[in-house]
Structure 1
Amino acid sequence: MAEHVIKLPDVGEGVAEAELVEWHVKVGDLVREDTMLAAVMTDKATVEIPSPVHGEITWLGGEIGDVIAVGSPLIRLKVEGEAEAQPEPQMETPHTPTPSPSPQGGGEPVAAPVEIAPVKAAQVKAAPQATGAMPSPSPLWGGVRGGGQPTFAPSAEGEKPIAAPAIRLRATEAGIDLRQVPGTGPAGRITHEDIDAFLARGPQIAPTPAPGLVRNTTVEDIKVVGLRRRIAEKMAVAKSRIPHITYVEEIDVTALEDLRAALNKQKRADQPKLTLLPFLMRAMVKAIADQPNVNAIFDDEAGVVHQYGGVHIGIATQTPSGLMVPVVHHAEARDIWDCAAEVSRLADAAKAGTATREELSGSTITITSLGAMGGVVTTPVINHPEVAIVGVNKIMVRPVWDGTQFIPRKMMNLSSSFDHRVVDGWDAAVFIQRVKTLLETPALIFVEG
């Protein structure tokens, strides 16, 4: 047997280390070439590390959340040679202890825990109890009684049967849980004959518990790492340092939805489909021209408000990894179609994990929307160190009194939060009322001056 060491590769120019955010394998797993082993996160992206060889995982170089330097060992694998693979670190000891580090002779193994140096304590939670088939968390084959019939017996958590990598690979491909296969080899080792016998016999079904309600007392500890940790840190800073004021206004978007539908019907093939967001972005640009104090970043440590001329709108985007905020830079210089195309491109890049640092930074005001799940009212958290965020709630048809009768209208709430240290309640209301006017009379969005 040979050992193959996989080191953390160079995952980007100027990157000296990366945070380990996910393991796709565990000690004892058999992997093929190109199997994804782990994912690491840098300031720029999340990168997956594939296996260059076939083999069995014998060691993992860190825990989720650890920061690993480029070039440091990440994973060790046992690579199968011509000779039969040796079992995993021996789980049995001779009956009589000996000072020799390697027991000699053929003494019968007995139930006794031993320390396994290459494996971390967290990876080996309990020692085996006896020879024969190895125990596991569920009722499995536990030995042979009188007439040679195998029996079920529960056993400790974290243990696995002894089998060569070739046996494990065969079992994996056949969908067999080796913990259910009684081994007839030395010290309970599972052989190809044992696999054949198991396939011929079929899996044994453990006795079902008595009917009734079962209390689930499981408690799972989930370490906060990677993007989730960064989101948590940023939200904590925003809520602890910014005194939020939230202003909610009702918007009649019936005319806007009619215009949007008409534009989408006559759009060119190379133009993106228009959503509500591009219209809101253009309305915000016009409203910011009258209320420039909402388009700013507050350096509260220095006591300075940086008020920007360019409108750089962050678009809060839900991705498989968590919430990200790609930025549409210079929205003031884009028309409706250009805004729509840039939002679509950035959202795709964020969800695919390919967005660059520049595309994820530099926002001066943010839009957050949950689409059809937007709820009636929300209280968005400001994207620190900005001073304003505009939240889009879902569109609902509601009866509206027009002076003589109730008529159905498409209504939507805007729930917006402001940093009360920088933006007074009056200024926040003036800003949102201007946005309301533009969205309810969408032709004004296209009128210059």
Structure 2
Amino acid sequence: MGIYVIRVPDIGEGIAEVELVAWHVQPGEEVREDQPIADVMTDKATVEIPSHVHGKILALGAEVGQLLSVGAELVRIEVEGEGNLKEGADAAAPVAAPAPAAAAPVPAPAAAAPEPQAAPAPAPKASTPAPAPAAARAAAPVPRARKADEPPLASPAVRRQALDMGIDLRLVHGSGPAGRILHEDLQAWAEGGGQPVGAVSSQYVERHGEEVIPVIGLRRRIAQKMQEAKRRIPHFSYVEEMDVTELEALRQQLNQRHGATRGKLTLLPFLARAMVLALRDFPQINARYDDEAGTVTRYEAVHLGIATQTDGGLMVPVLRHAESLDLWQCAAGVARVAEGARSGRAARDELSGSTITLTSLGALGGIVSTPVINHPEVAIVGVNRMVERPMLRGGQVVARQLMNLSSSFDHRVVDGMDAARFIQAVRALLENPALLFVE
């Protein structure tokens, strides 16, 4: 038998360091060739590292969240034959040892139990063996506390009993597998001083739990990028209200006529088109600022960043050459890059290179926001929610569809007057949507 060492590969693009974000194997497990063993994250994407060989995992070389340089030892695998670890070389290299086998559960002392338990039956004489049910209860797992957003796990029968007893399952810790709440847990809760849901004390009990969450992976990248953007860029925001009644009527008509064959349109393709047309007169806004070189690069192409919420956090995939796309092509492109980011299948070139970013929270967009610029860009346009509000038109109060644009700019590159004129140009196009189709 030999030892095969897998090291952090050279991913290219000048990357010298990666972050370990997930293990797919553990010490003692058998792995196959090409089976994924770990995920590492670069500045641009998450990369899956496969096993090169068949064998058994001996040790892991790092913990999740640790930064590793290219060539660092990632994992050791026991293989048939010689392996690639030369005798005497790196033999003493520190790696994570296999986790010890779990010991049999030891009954916890009554005083150390985290939840009040039912009063035990009178102890039998020393010469009499304890009844089996009591022994089973003594060896039961300690109730597991749930996270704040984790729903209680219980069978329908337990839920019905809890309802009859007036017990809020969210306040009960389960001792069953995976924290499942059992009938015994309800009984222990009731006998230990728990009160019905309707009682004031059960809803206003003191809570002292704490949870330390490591900032790793995509969340660490987001934190670093936002901190860098706010540290380097002197932001200023500009908010403007616009009447999108005609635009919304046009969108609905286009969807009724062409939605079945070309796909449904949201407001984003119209806004993207308005930005493309307005940027022709404001090239300083479709730009990237190099802090180190002290230069601004203006782009004729509009590579539109689409701020996208994923399970891991905020990502900004890029819709390239938005200036060359019609409404339906733009809608399809936005959907494609957003879905690629959410599913983790986005190509590397779709996660970098944007020249201006568009962000929207949809129906949750609020009235005003102050979006953070996607460094090294110099502008970001934010869409707030559309609402029907009263408006004066020709001396009459009428109901109109109104929406705000909340945008931020880099004051080193974009003057306030230019930012205002740019947003007003976008507003004029959206309030008169026929202009979107006139060159």
TM-score scaled by structure 2? 0.69
- Higher mean C-alpha displacement, 306-315 vs 369-378: 306-315
Q: 1:57 to 1:281 in 2, by over 3 A?
A: same
Q: What is the CA distance between 1:302 and its match in structure 2?
A: 2.3
Q: 1:133 to 1:55 in 2, by over 3 A?
A: farther
What pairs up with 1:111-126 in 2 under 5 angstroms?
118=97
Which digits, 9 at most, give the CA deviation of each residue in 1:60-109, with x for residues without a partner?
542221135578454779xxxxxxxxxxxxxxxxxxxxxxxxxxxxxxxx
Q: What is the CA distance between 1:374 and its match in structure 2?
A: 0.6
Give aligned-pair identity as a percent: 52
Structure 1 counterpart of 2:138: 152
Which digits, 9 at most, give the CA deviation of each residue in 1:278-315, with x for residues without a partner?
11111111111111111111122322211112222111
Q: 1:5 to 1:265 in 2, by over 3 A?
A: farther
Structure 1 counterpart of 2:341: 350
Out of 361, 365, 386, the residue aligned to residue 377 of structure 2 is: 386
Q: What is the CA distance between 1:446 and its match in structure 2?
A: 0.3
Matched, 1:341 2:322: no
Structure 1 distance, partners of 2:363, 2:299, is 32
Structure 1 counterpart of 2:46: 46
What pairs up with 1:219-368 in 2 under 5 angstroms?
219-267=210-258, 269=260, 271-368=262-359
Give SS of 1:228's match.
Answer: helix
- Higher mean C-alpha displacement, 390-399 vs 270-279: 270-279
Q: 1:360 to 1:135 in 2, by over 3 A?
A: same
Counterpart of 2:193 in structure 1: which amino acid? A
Structure 2 distance, partners of 1:232, 1:40, is 17
Note if contact 1:271-1:341 (Cα within 8 Å) is conserved in structure 2: no
Gaps of 5+ in 2: 79-95, 145-174, 195-200
Out of 345, 367, 377, the residue aligned to residue 376 of structure 1 is: 367
Counterpart of 1:367 in structure 2: which amino acid? L
Structure 2 distance, partners of 1:6, 1:207, is 51
Structure 2 distance, partners of 1:361, 1:243, is 22
Structure 1 counterpart of 2:82: none
Structure 1 distance, partners of 2:188, 2:55, is 36
Structure 2 distance, partners of 1:359, 1:63, is 29
Q: 1:422 to 1:60 in 2, by over 3 A?
A: same
Note if contact 1:45-1:354 (Cα within 8 Å) is conserved in structure 2: no
Equivalent pairs, count = 361
Gaps of 5+ in 1: 78-116, 159-174, 181-201
Structure 2 distance, partners of 1:298, 1:135, is 63
Structure 1 counterpart of 2:21: 21
Counterpart of 1:148 in structure 2: which amino acid? A
Matched, 1:134 2:79: no
Q: What is the CA distance between 1:44 and its match in structure 2?
A: 5.2
Structure 2 distance, partners of 1:311, 1:399, is 36
Q: What is the CA distance between 1:265 and its match in structure 2?
A: 1.8
Aligned-residue CA RMSD (Å): 4.4
